[in-house]
Amino acid sequence: MQFKSEVQKIIDHLHKMEVFDSQDILDRSRKGYETMAFQLSGKKESIAIMEEINIPQNTHSIPCIIYRPSNEKKKKTSAIIYLHGGWFVSGSIETHDAVIRKLANATGSVVIFIDYRLAPEYPFPAGLEDINAASEWIINNSTALGIDENNIGVAGDSAGGALAISLATQLRTQLKFQILIYPAADNTLSTPSWETYKNGPVTNKEEAYRVWNWYLSSSEDKENPLAIPILIKDFKDVPPALVILAEHDPLLDEGVHLINNMKEGGVMVETLLYKDMVHGFMHMGGVLKEVQESVEKMASFAHKHFI
């Protein structure tokens, strides 16, 4: 299989990358994700302010990080809730800091990163419950946060894309848009693209089976559309979507399937297919120009739907 030279260099680098030496496959997965993002994301943009808050719940608190863009001017600014990827089991502010800074500056919006609980320690629906609770708190406290409650969107990559559409189907008209970046939409892994890229690059079928089983702990969960976006049937009043896909990605076909389902359900959908790109390319801004291009496309989409 042929890849463009920049992508091939990244693939070669990932094969050689040394990560945390542990017998625990979960530890290796989490540390490997952090190492990839750290080494490939490139120089981080400056922003005006980065604030950490904790949203209290009955049994725990939900950490969130608020990114205020360098060009923020309005007293009440538009906002984007960001949900990170990492196969529901990994990912953090360390893996996504560079991307979120770019998104905040490009959109001129406050971006709020929700650090939701992860499987397997906290399987579905724990992470989504955190996201629902945090999003409700953000909307209810919008004035204190200096954001416009009527101008809020959601974005997420990979597993975060699955969580973003789940949030959008619950909040519906309370959100102006959803941005889904190579979303993890189907746990069956039965599409042609999964067969083509079952051994990678970046992610593989063995890993995907393992993490879906960690995330979905019961047979009922495996039939829940809030966990598996490809099962969503009710798209009434779901906000417009921008879906970003990568050509050399095992998740490509399920992303296309999800797009078709949304369109059939009446959702306005724009699609961007990045030729030559691989899963997780948004973490590779230090090498790939497509990262900045995609951020600019996201910003244009957001500006079109904000009031």
Q: DSSP labels for 98-121? A: HHHHHHHHHHTSEEEEE----TTT
Active site residue 109: no
Alpha-carbon distance of 265 to 202, in angstroms, equals 32
Q: How many CA atoms lie within 13 A of 17 on its CB side?
A: 22
What Å distances lie between residue 54 and 72, 114, 220, CA to CA?
Answer: 23, 10, 31
Torsion sign, CA atoms 260, 262, 268, 273 = negative
Alpha-carbon distance of 2 to 279, in angstroms, equals 15
Alpha-carbon distance of 111 to 100, in angstroms, equals 7
Residue 80 pairs in a beta bridge with 111, 153
Residue 250 pairs in a beta bridge with none
Residue 232: strand, helix, or coil: coil
- Side chain identity at residue 48, one-letter code: A
Q: Which of 158, 166, 193, 294 is catalytic?
A: 158
Chain mean position to CA 223 = 22
Residues noted as catalytic: 158
